[in-house]
Amino acid sequence: MADNNAPAPRATSNRSTVPVSETFRQFISGEWAERDEVKPKPREQAAWAAERRSRLSALYVGMRLVIPAGAAKVRSNDTDYPYRAHSAFSHLTGWASDCVAASVLVLEPTAQGHTATLYFRKAAGRDSDEFYANSDIGEFWTGPRPSLAHVATDLGLLTADLAEFEHVLDSVDVGTIILREVDRDLTEQVDRRRIIAQNVDDDGNFAFVADGNPFMAADETFSRDLSELRLVKDPWEIVQMRQAVAATKKGFDDVIADRDAIVAHERGERLVEGTFNRRARAEGNAVGYDTIAASGPHACILHWTRNDGAVVPGDLILMDAGIELDSLYTADITRTLPVNGVFSQTQRRVYEAVLEAADAAFATVRPGIRFREIHATAMAVIARKTAEWGFLPVSAEESILPDNQFHRRYMVHGTSHHLGIDVHDCAQARRDLYLDGVLEAGMVFTIEPGLYFQPDDLTVPQEFRGIGVRIEDNILVTEDGAENLSISIPRTADDVEAWLR
């Protein structure tokens, strides 16, 4: 019998050629060998995910918490983007690159805290036509799904078929909170039920009186709390960050090894991107974000991801890239390389100024300082250097004043952002815990100052125009200071030239 809860496939009749006769149904449903599913060992991150759920439970006593993984997202017509579960879902379950789309984690309140249940679409049996006829989720099309028992052991969670999630929806009341930005359809269903529950009187009569959505504020606070839960990484996460950086170094090495082919191609930036992405797929899940392969003046465009330009000897190429592991933790590294292997005098001058800013910022990192001090330290160097070069209409000290900031013309972005299961991790955290937050051991973030002189910038001499330099490292706060996780990727001008040789 077909699973009525399964979505209808999006393939049109023009594409679908699966036989529909009863004779075919009977034939394809029989004579299949029994499958012996290997019982997995609990994955290492399961225990860490349970501890994170425990911390979340303590914040939301008596509340039902709904955390969707999210549905697949359409790329065009009936094709989807590669699936990736929402980071908060993966953080709380340990289910990452192998997650079944549209899964939902529910924390149901109990007297002792919460009971966590993972709802996902279980494997379809051979008595269903899903496995061969549904091109969106059928096994013949997308591969087998794990059983409920397999996932329960793997993740150390109670599991249930997604069809049973209807019972959760039937229980939704004003004490239900959902991570609302993940799955619009599911959020709308929860909203409708919460509003009904709020507006039904003691006699069971419905009288709508709510103005707007009275639950949105609680949901937004929930999103904030899930973000803040990741501000300090646990030991397992720190291992993942080390591995992501190590994989990313291999990607940079691959690009350097392919330099001749890259330079020879009219769209060499695309080859940089492709070479790095190949390593990302080999070592992990994917790239953690679209690779920036910005050669020549493209390096002055902060988020240049078109990557369709030539890589020309004599120019610099700014490469901002990171590999996302199967755990979904990602590195975020930038190196700026002279294409012909040697910096020009002006290029080296700019590069060493950026390196000085990065080193000064790193030297300030230790538990107890405020996050924003890292940026301020880097900016002091950027202001001093651009003032020394005569680019500012005032002194460096005057430029740093909040009402001036002339030096920011050449570096408009921030110096640091948290890093982890998202490349811009903890993005919904409160300002007083992020920008104004105090550093703690276990925090991981970037330090990435830069200088960018646009090709048409008349405030700088001609020889500076079109030069863009950024150096980005991944930093771990330790008990008594900091560790540069990416220190093994060459970063001084001399070391970069030796690397290219």
Which pLDDT belongs to residue 465?
Answer: 98
The 3-state secondary structure of 392-456 reads: CCCCHHHHCCCCCCHHHHHCCCCCCCECCCCCCCCCCCCHHHCCCCECCCCCEEEECCEEEECCC
Strand-pairing partners, residue 292, are: 320
- Report how far residue 214's alpha carbon sits from residue 118's, in angstroms, rounded to the nearest whole number: 27
- Cα of 120 vs its chain's centroid, Å: 22
- End-to-end, the C-alpha distance of the chain in Å comes to 64
Q: Quick check: 29 and 147 in contact, CB under 8 A?
A: no
Q: Quick check: 251 and 486 in contact, CB under 8 A?
A: no
Q: Quick check: 440 and 232 in contact, CB under 8 A?
A: yes
Q: Quick check: 353 and 389 in contact, CB under 8 A?
A: no
Tokens of 83: 């699936």
Tokens of 190: 């929860």
- Report how far residue 434's alpha carbon sits from residue 448's, in angstroms, rounded to the nearest whole number: 17
Which pLDDT belongs to residue 3?
Answer: 46
Q: Quick check: 412 and 439 in contact, CB under 8 A?
A: no
Which pLDDT belongs to residue 2?
Answer: 37
Q: 315: which residues sit within 8 A by CB, 6+ positions away?
A: 295, 296, 338, 339
Q: Quick check: 249 and 486 in contact, CB under 8 A?
A: yes
Kindly compute the dihedral angle of the four CA atoms of residues 161, 166, 168, 172, in this order, to the nearest 10 degrees. 160
Which pLDDT belongs to residue 136?
Answer: 87
Strands 104-110 and 64-68: antiparallel
Q: For helices 216-228 and 45-59, give the axis angle rounded to 10 degrees.
A: 140
Residues of the chain with pLDDT under 70: 1-5, 11-13, 16, 201-211
Q: Say whether 235-500 and 39-228 share the same fold.
A: no
Q: Quick check: 42 and 172 in contact, CB under 8 A?
A: no
Q: Kindly report the number of other CB atoms within 10 A of residue 302's CB atom.
A: 16
Q: Quick check: 164 and 54 in contact, CB under 8 A?
A: no
Which pLDDT belongs to residue 123?
Answer: 86
The CATH class of 235-500 is alpha beta
Phi, psi angle pair for 289, to nearest 5°: -170, 165
- Report how far residue 478's alpha carbon sits from residue 212's, in angstroms, rounded to the nearest whole number: 46
Over its C-alpha atoms, the chain yields an Rg (Å, rounded) of: 26
CATH superfamily placement of domain 39-228: Creatinase/prolidase N-terminal domain (3.40.350.10)
Which pLDDT belongs to residue 1?
Answer: 31
Q: Quick check: 288 and 309 in contact, CB under 8 A?
A: no
Measured in residues, the chain has a length of: 501
**DSSP line for 39-85:** PPPPPTHHHHHHHHHHHHHHHSTT-EEEEE-----EEETTEEPPP--
Report how far apart, in Å, the C-alpha atoms of 223 and of each of 56, 220, 436 are. 11, 5, 19
- Report how far residue 325's alpha carbon sits from residue 98's, in angstroms, rounded to the nearest whole number: 12
Which pLDDT belongs to residue 201?
Answer: 63
Give residue limits of the domains in the chain.
39-228, 235-500
Which pLDDT belongs to residue 396?
Answer: 98
